[in-house]
Amino acid sequence: MLLPMEFARIKSLASPFLSWLPFVFALLTLVGCQAKKTYPSRPILLICPWAVGGGTDRLSREVAVFLEQELAVPVNVVNATGGAGVTGHSRGASARPDGYTLTMMTVELNMLHWRELTEISWKDFTPVMLINRDPAALFTRADENRWEDLNAIADDVRKNPGTLAASGTATGGIWHLALAGWLQAAGLKPDSIKWIPTNGAGPALQELVSGGVDLVCCSLPEARTLLAAGKVQPLGVMAESRVSGYPDVPTFQEQGINWAVGGWRGLGLPQETSQEIVNRLAEALLKIVTGQTLLNGKGFPWFMENEGFNLTWEPSDKFRRSLERADQELGSLLTSPEFSQVNVGRFQPMDFPKLLFGALAITLLALLVRFFSRGKSIAASAPTRLSGEGLIHFLEIVLAVAAFALLAEKLGFVLTAASIIFLLLWRLGTRIWVAAVVTLFVVPAVYGLFGNLLRVPLPRGILGW
Amino acid sequence: MDFLETSCGCHYREEYWDGELSEILLTALEQIFQWPVLGIIVISAAYGLFMGAIPGLTATMAVALLVPLTFFLEDVAALAAIVTLEACAIFAGDIPTALVRIPGTPSSAAYVDDAYALTRAGRQEEVLGIALLFSVAGGLFGAAVLITSAPWLAKIAFQFTSYEYFWLTLLGLSCAAVVSRGSLLKGALALIIGLLLSTVGLSEVHSSPRFTFAQDELIAGINFIPAMIGLFGVSEVLRNVLWFQNNFRTVVQEGFNQTLTAGRSLLNRLLFQPLRCVFATASDLLWRRKLHVLRSSIVGSFVGMLPGAGADIGAWISFALSKRFSKNPEEYGQGSLEGIGDATSANNSALAGAWIPALVFGIPGDSITAIVIGILLMKNIIPGPQIFTNETQSVLVYGIYITFILANLVLLPLGFLAIRGGSYLVRIPQPILLPVILLFSIVGAFAINGSYFDVWVMLGMGILGFVLEMNQVPLGPVVLGIILGGKLEQTFIQSLTKSDELWDFFARPVAGFLGATCVLVWCSPLLISLWRRRWQTSP
C-alpha cells in the first residue's frame, strides 16, 4: 500500500530513469534478435576445480584453446578452487544446463560424496569425454637406494610398522587412498606407514627430497621434473600395464601386488543438458583428442605427450560406465573400517582453531586489562560526529554490493552494474547528467575490458549480457 | 658446481663454462634483440602494468591468460613475455595501493597505510616514484642473484622441511603483527583474526570441513583477494561516505599541486617537471639507502627462492627489518618513505628468486613459475640441472636472464607513464570516484573465481575492516593471516606429526635459527618496554 504522496515522491525520484527506458528497450530488442543462434553462440565457461599452475589447470587451459579453435567461440577457464574440489564440482553441477558451463571433472568427484563433504556425485553430471588417466606411483629418494623393490619396503614396514612416513596430498586424498590400498593389498594395515598431509604433490616431493618423508605417492607426470633431475626414484606404478612415456617403471602387478588406482580428468556438463548440446561438444572433443584439430600445426596428443600426461579418452557412454564402476570401487575402500581408521590422525581438525581461540582470549583479556588500567585513552576516536546522511550513505554502499551479489546472475552484469553505479552517483550528489555520462562510460568500459579482453566470465543474465 | 655433479647425478661439461659461455650468451642476445621479441616485451610490460594496477586481477591470472598465446610464440619470446609481465605487474600493484588504498598484491599490503597517508598529503607521485625506482633496483638485484648463483642457492631450498617452513611462515606473520601501526596487542589481535578466518572451510590437512555451517560455498573458505579488497578498499569507501559532505572534495585533502609550478617551456612542463616530481625524492633516497636496498633485496631473493614462501613474506620481513633499524621508526605506518622503498625492493627481488628452484629442479617457487614449468614442458623443455648444460636450452636460460634485466629497464619509462596517468585519479571528485572504486572492487572480487560468494566475502570484510580501523586495529596482519594461515597450520601439524618432542622444532640448524628469531621478534618489544619502564621509574 502506497500513499499517493509517497507514490509521487517515488515517481519524482524515478523520473530520471524513466527517460532512459526507451533506450533500454531498444537495446533489449537488439540483443534479443542476436540471441537466437545455434549452440554455441557466446563464450563458454570451463570450470577447473583446482588452482592455477597445477596439472588439472594446465590440461583445462589446453583443452580450452583447442575447443575455442573447434567451436569458434571463446572458452574461458575459471579456477573455482577450494574445498578439495567441492567448490568447482558443485558449481559446475548446479550451473544452468545451457551448455555454456563445462566442468573439468577429476577423480575427487567420486570421493567427496563418500566422505560426506558434499551431495554432488557423478550422477549430477552428463559425462562428455574422458581425457586423461594418470595412475598412482610410489617414489623414494634417488641417492639412497634404500629398497630394491616394493616387497623390500613391505618387509620393512612389517618389521617396524609406523616408522616410515609418506606424503603426496591431504589426508584422505586420492594418493593417500592409493597408498593405503596398496598396504591393504600387501596384507598390511593401511596405517602402518605414517601419512604426512601436504597441499599437493609438489610440496610432498619437496619434503621427500629434503629428507622430511621417506616415500611419496603421486602420479608420474607430477614427479617428472625431479625424475629427470635424478632426485627421485620410482618404485612402481599402480596401473594394469606400464605407462607410455615411462617404460622403465614397473607396475605393482609385475611385483606381485594386485592393485591399480589413479587419477583421471574428463569433461562434464550439468545433468539436464540437452542431448543436442552434449553431442555437439562430444563431436568437437573427439576431433581434438584424435588430433584432427590443429593449433599452430600441432594436435592435442602432441601437447599431452610433451607434458607427460597420459592421453586416454573415452566417449560419453563408456565414460559414464567407468565413472559408475570407479565410484563403487572407491566407495567400498573409503567406507571400509580399515580406511576410516586411517583418517583419524594424531591431531584433530579443531586443534589449530582451538589454539587460536586460546590466543584470541588471551589477547582480548590483555586488551581489556589495558583498557581499564589506562582509562579511555585508547577508545575509538571518531574524527567527527556521525550524521544521519552519512549513515544512510553507509547503508547504500552495503546495499549496492548486496544488490550485485543477489541480482547480477538474473539481470546480467550490464543492467545491474549500470543501475548500481548510477544510483550511487546520484545519491552522492552528482548531477544527473554527469552521473549518466559516467555510467555510460564506465559500465561498457568495464564490461569490454573484463568480459572481453581479460576473459572474466561476467554474469550474463537472462538477456545474454 | 661440485654439488651438482655429485648429488644430482648429472654432469656439467667443463668446456661449457669456459668456451661456450660467450657464444651462448651471444645467441641468446641475438634471439632477444629482434624487433618482434622487443615488441612483445614492451606489450607485455604494458599488459602487466595494467593487470597489476587493477585490484583483483593478479599477475598469476595475467600469466595464465598468456598461456594460449605461448603456443604460437617462439620459446624465447614466450618466456620473455612472462618475465616482463611478472616484473611489471608486481610494481603496478603499488599504484592502487597508493592511490585508492587497495593493495594490488598481498605484498603491497605491508606499506598500504604509509603509501595512502602520503597520497592524502598530495605526495602520491613521490611515493610511486620511490616504489618504481626501488622496485627496479630490487628487480635488478634479484636478477643478478638468479644469474650468478641459481644452482648453488637451489640447494638451500632442499634444506627446508616442514619445521623450517613453519618458523619462516610464523616469522613473516610475526613481523606483520609487530611492525604494524598501533600497539603490539592490537597487531596480535589482527593476526589472530586473520588466522581464524583462514580456518574457515575445508582444512587442507584433514580435509574436514570447519565453520562451514553445512554451506557448500563456505567449504572453499575465505579467498584472500576479495578479503583484501574488502578490508582495505570497501572499508575506505564506507568510511568516506560516512563522513561525507556533499561537496566536490578529492582524495587529496591538504595537497599541493606540484605540476602547477612548472616552468614556461613546453618541454619543461611536459617532461622535465614531471620527471622531477616523480624521481627527485626517489633517486635521492635510493642513493642514501643503497645498503638498505641491498639488505631488503637479499631478504627478498632468499625468501622468494623458497618454494611456497613468497614476495609477501619477503616484503613484511624487510619492512620489519627496516623499521627495527630505522632512525625514525615512529614514521612507519604513518607515511614512511624508507619503509615503502625497502619493502618494494624486497618484493621485486623475490620474483627472480622464485625462478631459481623452478629452473634448477623444476619445483615451482610460486604460482607463476608453476605455470612457466607447464609451458616449458609443453615446449618439450624439462626444467632441471640439464637445462643449464643442453646447448639450445641454456640459450633459453640466458634469454630469461636477459629479459629479467630488460624488463626492469622497460619498467622505468612505462612505470613513469603509469604513475602520471594514475595520478589524475586522485583529482576526480569523490562523489564520482567512490562509486567507480566500488564497482571496480565488486568486479575485482568477482573476477578471481567468478563467484558471488566472494562478493559477499568482500562486503563482510569491508564492514570488518571498518570496525577494526575504528578501533585502531591494523589490517595488514589480518590479510597476511588469511593468506598464510593454511600454510602455518599445515607445516605445524606436519611437524607435530613427525616429531616426538618439542625440541625437534629447533633441532635442525636452520629451523633453530628461524625459531629463535621468531621468539626474539615477539619478546623484544616486551623486553624493551619492560626495560624502559624500569628505567623510567627507578630514577
Task: State pLDDT tens for residues B482-532.
Answer: 988 888 988 898 888 877 778 888 888 888 999 998 888 888 777 777 777
Q: Is the pLDDT of residue A113 over 90?
A: no
Q: What percent of chain B has pLDDT over 90?
A: 22
The string of pLDDT tens digits covering residues B399-412 is 899 999 999 999 99
Q: Which of B459, B12, B45, B260 minimizes the C-alpha distance to A400?
A: B459
Distance from CA of A446 to the nearest CA of B (A): 8
Q: Is the pLDDT of residue B255 over 60?
A: no
Alpha-carbon Rg for chain A, nearest whole angstrom, is 28
In a domain, A381, yes or no: no
| B254 class by beta-carbon count within 10 Å (0-12 exposed, 13-18 middle, 19+ buried) | exposed
In a domain, A292, yes or no: yes
Which grid coordinates belong to B149? 648463483
Q: Is the pLDDT of residue B175 over 60?
A: yes
pLDDT of the residue at B215: 74
Instruction: Say if the Cβ atoms of B162 and A409 lie within 8 Å.
Output: no
Considering the domain architecture, whether residues A251 and A147 belong to the same structural domain is answered as yes
The answer to whether residues A347 and B172 touch, using CB atoms and an 8 Å cutoff, is: no
Considering the domain architecture, whether residues A124 and A267 belong to the same structural domain is answered as yes
Mean pLDDT of B249-261: 49
Instruction: Say if the Cβ atoms of B494 and A198 lie within 8 Å.
Output: yes
- Determine contact: A43 vs chain B, CB below 8 A: no
Which grid coordinates belong to B385? 640441472
- Determine contact: B160 vs chain A, CB below 8 A: yes
Choose between B250 and B70: higher pLDDT: B70
pLDDT of the residue at B20: 65
Q: What percent of chain A has pLDDT over 70?
A: 88
pLDDT of the residue at B135: 93
pLDDT of the residue at B185: 87
The confidence band for A33, taking pLDDT boundaries of 50, 70 and 90, is very low
Q: Is the pLDDT of residue A366 over 60?
A: yes
| Domain definitions of chain B by residue range | 14-244+256-537
Pairing mode of beta strands A125-141, B201-202: unpaired
pLDDT of the residue at B137: 93
Helices B476-498 and B311-324 pack at an angle, to 10 degrees, of 110
The string of pLDDT tens digits covering residues B89-143 is 989 999 999 998 888 888 888 888 899 988 888 888 889 999 999 999 999 999 9
Q: What is the C-alpha separation between A402 and A365, in angstroms, rounded?
A: 35
Residues of A in contact with B380 (CB under 8 A): 306
Q: Is the pLDDT of residue A369 over 80?
A: yes
Which residues have a Cβ under 8 Å from the Cβ of A65 and sit 6 or more positions away?
Answer: A75, A295, B67, B68, B71
Q: Is the pLDDT of residue A452 over 90?
A: no
Provide the domain limits for residue A65: 44-132+263-340
Q: What percent of chain A has pLDDT over 90?
A: 28
In a domain, A28, yes or no: no
Between A279-283, A433-437, B56-60, B152-156, the lowest mean confidence (pLDDT) is in B152-156
CB contact residues (below 8 A), chain A span 232-291, against chain B: none
Distance from CA of A256 to the nearest CA of B (A): 31
Instruction: Say if the Cβ atoms of A364 and B189 lie within 8 Å.
Output: yes
Considering the domain architecture, whether residues A233 and A163 belong to the same structural domain is answered as yes
The string of pLDDT tens digits covering residues B25-81 is 888 888 888 888 999 999 999 999 988 888 878 888 888 888 878 878 888 889 999
| B261 class by beta-carbon count within 10 Å (0-12 exposed, 13-18 middle, 19+ buried) | exposed
- At which of A212, A242, A261 does a domain end? A261
- Determine contact: A225 vs chain B, CB below 8 A: yes
Domain containing A79 — which CATH number? 3.40.190.150
The confidence band for B85, taking pLDDT boundaries of 50, 70 and 90, is very high
pLDDT of the residue at B133: 93
Which candidate from A53, A229, A306 shows the least CB-CB separation from B385?
A: A229
- Determine contact: B283 vs chain A, CB below 8 A: no
Domain count for chain A? 3
Q: What is the C-alpha separation between A133 and A309, in angstroms, rounded?
A: 8
pLDDT of the residue at A344: 57
The mean pLDDT of chain A is 83
Q: What is the C-alpha separation between A51 and A55, in angstroms, rounded?
A: 9
The helix (run of H) or strand (run of E) holding residue B139 is: helix B124-157
The confidence band for A27, taking pLDDT boundaries of 50, 70 and 90, is low
Which candidate from B202, B246, B367 shows the least CB-CB separation from A117?
A: B202
The confidence band for A385, taking pLDDT boundaries of 50, 70 and 90, is low
Q: What is the C-alpha separation between A416 and B254, in angstroms, rounded?
A: 36
pLDDT of the residue at A342: 60
Residues of B in contact with A300 (CB under 8 A): none
Mean pLDDT of A140-159: 87
Considering the domain architecture, whether residues A139 and A240 belong to the same structural domain is answered as yes
Considering the domain architecture, whether residues A127 and A267 belong to the same structural domain is answered as yes
pLDDT of the residue at B539: 45
pLDDT of the residue at A129: 93
Instruction: Say if the Cβ atoms of B65 and A454 lie within 8 Å.
Output: yes
- At which of A261, A296, A317 does a domain end? A261
Q: What is the C-alpha separation between A114 and A339, in angstroms, rounded?
A: 12
pLDDT of the residue at B14: 40
Distance from CA of A27 to the nearest CA of B (A): 22
Considering the domain architecture, whether residues A211 and A145 belong to the same structural domain is answered as yes
CB contact residues (below 8 A), chain A span 368-397, against chain B: 370, 378, 380, 382-384, 386-387, 389-391, 393-394, 396-397
| Cα→Cα distances B367→A318, B449, B455, Å | 35, 16, 23
- At which of A340, A374, A398 does a domain end? A340
Mean pLDDT of A340-354: 75
Which grid coordinates belong to A284? 568437437
Considering the domain architecture, whether residues A393 and A438 belong to the same structural domain is answered as yes
Q: Is the pLDDT of residue B3 over 50?
A: no
Distance from CA of B346 to the nearest CA of A (A): 24
pLDDT of the residue at B5: 35
Mean pLDDT of A58-81: 87
Considering the domain architecture, whether residues A247 and A309 belong to the same structural domain is answered as no
Instruction: Say if the Cβ atoms of B363 and A206 lie within 8 Å.
Output: yes
Between A106-120, B80-94, B197-211, the lowest mean confidence (pLDDT) is in B197-211
Residues of B in contact with A361 (CB under 8 A): none
CB contact residues (below 8 A), chain B span 345-364, against chain A: 361-364
Q: What is the C-alpha separation between A354 and B56, in angstroms, rounded?
A: 32
DSSP reduced 3-state for A115: coil
What's the 3-state SS for A43-108? CEEEEECCCCCCHHHHHHHHHHHHHHHHHCCCEEEEECCCHHHHHHHHHHHCCCCCCCEEEEEECC
Which grid coordinates belong to B488? 602455518
The mean pLDDT of chain B is 82
Which grid coordinates belong to B420? 602520471
